[in-house]
Amino acid sequence: MQKLINAVQNYAWGSHTALTELYGIANPDNLPMAELWMGAHPKSSSQILAADGQPRSLREVIDADKAALLGDKVAARFG
């Protein structure tokens, strides 16, 4: 299992405090935080920490070996 670093989407309708209070996500610029995206979406993929401690795009990691990470059926269907 690897830790995900997820992307916050800043939209005007978001809260300045909710994600900080719920998940401890820093908001140093006091922007409205509307959504916390977890996954490999092309617009804003989560990051994972590689064995060397460096962040890597979850999307790129999955793309590099879909069958091994997702299984053959899922890779074939959504690949």
**Average pLDDT, rounded, for the chain:** 94
Q: Output the CA angle 61-50-4, nearest 5 degrees.
A: 75
pLDDT digits (tens, 9 = 90+) for 50-60: 888 899 999 99
Residue 55 pairs in a beta bridge with 49
Q: Which domains does the chain have, with CATH numbers?
A: 4-78 (2.60.120.10)
DSSP for residue 53? S
Q: Which two tokens stand for residue 49?
A: 């920490």
Q: How many helices (DSSP H) and strands (DSSP E) are in the chain?
A: 4, 5
Q: Give the global pTM.
A: 0.80
